[in-house]
Structure 1
Amino acid sequence: MESGPSQAFREELTCFVCMSYLTDPVTISCGHSFCRACLHLSWEDSQLPVQCPTCREPSQQEDFRTSIVLKKLVSIARQAGLMKYLSSEEHQCVTHKETKGIFCTENRIYLCQLCSDSHEHRGHRHCPIEAAAEGQMERLLKQMESLWKKIQDNEENLEAERRMITLWKNCLILREETIRAEYRTCYPDLSEQEEEHIACMKEEGNYYLEKLMESEAMMVQKDKQLRDMYQELMAMSQEPYVVLLQDFDDIFRRSKSMQLIKPLAMKPEIYVLAFNGLGQIFT
């Protein structure tokens, strides 16, 4: 178990929320630092001013810049852990008894220098393991940023759709009251036609209401899928570099594919056309 300066150093680079190494670290007004994703999730449903997860000091800040120094220190610590893992006797190159310091991007495996120069791997793309790990982490952070934006966009569309559902229900009630008032005023003897007209109006109105509710349900489902994927990416960002180098490609492809499918809200013109039809009492 680590002790002394080494343990203290790690503690300073640990996020209080997830208790893992800081990922894309940001520092808030009180001076405490957290993973950007951890702040996103912990502050998402909070009203301003939000509070620091550590000291509970209020903070009005919403947009953050990555703490370059902390990010570099975390990178150094993670790279040290990766090299310690690879330089251990059980993970050294079996053939040449050397540390595996090269990453083969074709086969997704670690190689020593001599193996990377061999006929089997000579034509493959290679890079130092530290650089490969940093590259994967940057890909992961960009994917998380893109996915978070999709989550926020979907949330805005969902709220807009819910407002439209409420508005639509109120409009249907108002339309029925308007029709009844017009019949009472102008055509008091046509009660049967009044009920037929209201029934027709409700049928058409409920058709559009069902479409709105279907759209809302799709957005709710999409929200869950996006958030589940974001949690997966968060978990991957907290893994050691040795895991990130080998296991990220699958989740990266799934995340990219998920973001291509976007539920669309119903177009406002549909509501206008619908109510133009509903507003015609007589043809």
Structure 2
Amino acid sequence: MESDLSQAFQEELTCFICMSYLTDPVTISCGHSFCRACLHLSWEDSQVSVQCPMCREPSQQKDFRTNIVLKKLVSIARKASLMKYLSSEEHKCVTHKETKGIFCMENSIYLCRPCSDSHEHRGHRHCPIEAAAEGQLIRLIIREEMIRAKYRRCYPLPSKQEEENIECMKKEANYYLEKLRKSEAMMVQKSKQLREMYRELMAMSHEPYVVLLQDLDDIFRRSESVQLSKPLAMKPEIYALALSGLTERFN
């Protein structure tokens, strides 16, 4: 009975899209909840109407507040899973036979209480493992939002009016449109890099706390490099009469 209840509880805290624990959960108008990042990826190609990924009911809203109750319940479930892992015999300190419940911030390793007070680690920054994992998860969510915002700025969905303007510009200047296509191709490549990095960060945020405590410096360095690199801006030189809207589109 207890195991059935635990399984049912876990299913309610699982995102229908990624099938993992809800991360930064949001609830849409139909009542279903999803990870914020999963919902954004599911809806990013929709220009007009969007639907619930689960029941397909149309939704008019795209920006949501975090479901605080669900977020707390997921945190409780994640911590319970972590405590179960920490209580296993294989996780106990070989020297002191105590559970390694402390995370060393300097060396990114697990320690038991006597080890944390030893001469080797006494001067290092320590914190409970669950607190360290929560901190890493928050860092990942913040970085997800940064990458998503960068992606939307680099590659926004065109409106109907913008599409009409593009058709008009094609008729006005085929020569400059060829250069424009090359510039847009660079922007598409940039957006793909940002999208892939966003997916990687999102996937990492769904990992168990134990995985979150591993060295994340590499993925953060790569996400920084993706954000810093950008295509060169174009400055078209128009020798004939001014073409309405073309220069603004290049910029």
Asked if the contact 2:108/2:215 (under 8 Å) is kept, the reply is no
Residue type of the partner of 1:78? Answer: R
> What residue in structure 2 maps to residue 149 of structure 1?
149
Inter-partner Cα distance in structure 1 for 2:177 and 2:43: 33
Larger radius of gyration: 1
> What residue in structure 2 maps to residue 7 of structure 1?
7
Q: Is 1:259–2:227 an aligned residue pair?
A: yes
Inter-partner Cα distance in structure 1 for 2:25 and 2:52: 14
Per the TM alignment, residue 162 of structure 1 is displaced from its structure 2 partner at its CA by 8.2
**Structure 1 unaligned residues grouped into runs of 5+:** 174-205
> What residue in structure 1 maps to residue 246 of structure 2?
none
Per the TM alignment, residue 263 of structure 1 is displaced from its structure 2 partner at its CA by 2.7
Per the TM alignment, residue 224 of structure 1 is displaced from its structure 2 partner at its CA by 1.1
1:94-113 map, 5 Å: 94-113=94-113
Residue type of the partner of 1:215? Answer: S
Q: Percent identity?
A: 73
TM-score normalised by L of structure 2: 0.87
Inter-partner Cα distance in structure 1 for 2:169 and 2:232: 18
Q: Is 1:225–2:215 an aligned residue pair?
A: no
Inter-partner Cα distance in structure 2 for 1:58 and 1:28: 10
Per the TM alignment, residue 95 of structure 1 is displaced from its structure 2 partner at its CA by 0.9
Inter-partner Cα distance in structure 1 for 2:187 and 2:218: 25
Asked if the contact 1:236/1:248 (under 8 Å) is kept, the reply is no
1:14-33 map, 5 Å: 14-33=14-33
> What residue in structure 2 maps to residue 250 of structure 1?
218
Q: Is 1:170–2:132 an aligned residue pair?
A: no
Per the TM alignment, residue 213 of structure 1 is displaced from its structure 2 partner at its CA by 2.5
Residue type of the partner of 1:33? Answer: S
Inter-partner Cα distance in structure 2 for 1:158 and 1:105: 45
Residue type of the partner of 2:70? Answer: L
Asked if the contact 1:158/1:216 (under 8 Å) is kept, the reply is no
Inter-partner Cα distance in structure 2 for 1:226 and 1:68: 28
Per the TM alignment, residue 161 of structure 1 is displaced from its structure 2 partner at its CA by 9.8
Inter-partner Cα distance in structure 2 for 1:84 and 1:213: 55
Asked if the contact 1:158/1:220 (under 8 Å) is kept, the reply is no
> What residue in structure 2 maps to residue 119 of structure 1?
119
Aligned with 2:216: secondary structure? Answer: helix
Pair 1:114–1:251, CA change in 2 (3 A): same
Inter-partner Cα distance in structure 2 for 1:163 and 1:251: 40
Asked if the contact 1:162/1:216 (under 8 Å) is kept, the reply is no
> What residue in structure 2 maps to residue 278 of structure 1?
240
Inter-partner Cα distance in structure 2 for 1:162 and 1:96: 69
Inter-partner Cα distance in structure 1 for 2:68 and 2:5: 22
Aligned with 2:34: secondary structure? Answer: strand
Q: Give the count of matched residue pairs.
A: 240
Inter-partner Cα distance in structure 2 for 1:12 and 1:19: 11
Deviations 1:30-81 (CA, angstroms, capped at 9, x unpaired): 1110001111111122254321112222211111001111111111111111
Residue type of the partner of 1:278? Answer: A
Inter-partner Cα distance in structure 2 for 1:213 and 1:161: 15
Inter-partner Cα distance in structure 1 for 2:188 and 2:82: 40
Per the TM alignment, residue 167 of structure 1 is displaced from its structure 2 partner at its CA by 4.5
User: Where does structure 1 differ by over 6 angstroms across 4 or more consecutive aligned residues?
Assistant: 157-165
Inter-partner Cα distance in structure 2 for 1:106 and 1:57: 49
Per the TM alignment, residue 264 of structure 1 is displaced from its structure 2 partner at its CA by 5.2
> What residue in structure 1 maps to residue 128 of structure 2?
128
Inter-partner Cα distance in structure 1 for 2:34 and 2:153: 24
Inter-partner Cα distance in structure 1 for 2:232 and 2:148: 18
What's the Cα RMSD here? Answer: 2.4
Residue type of the partner of 2:187? Answer: M
- Out of 150-159 and 81-90, give the one that drifted further: 150-159
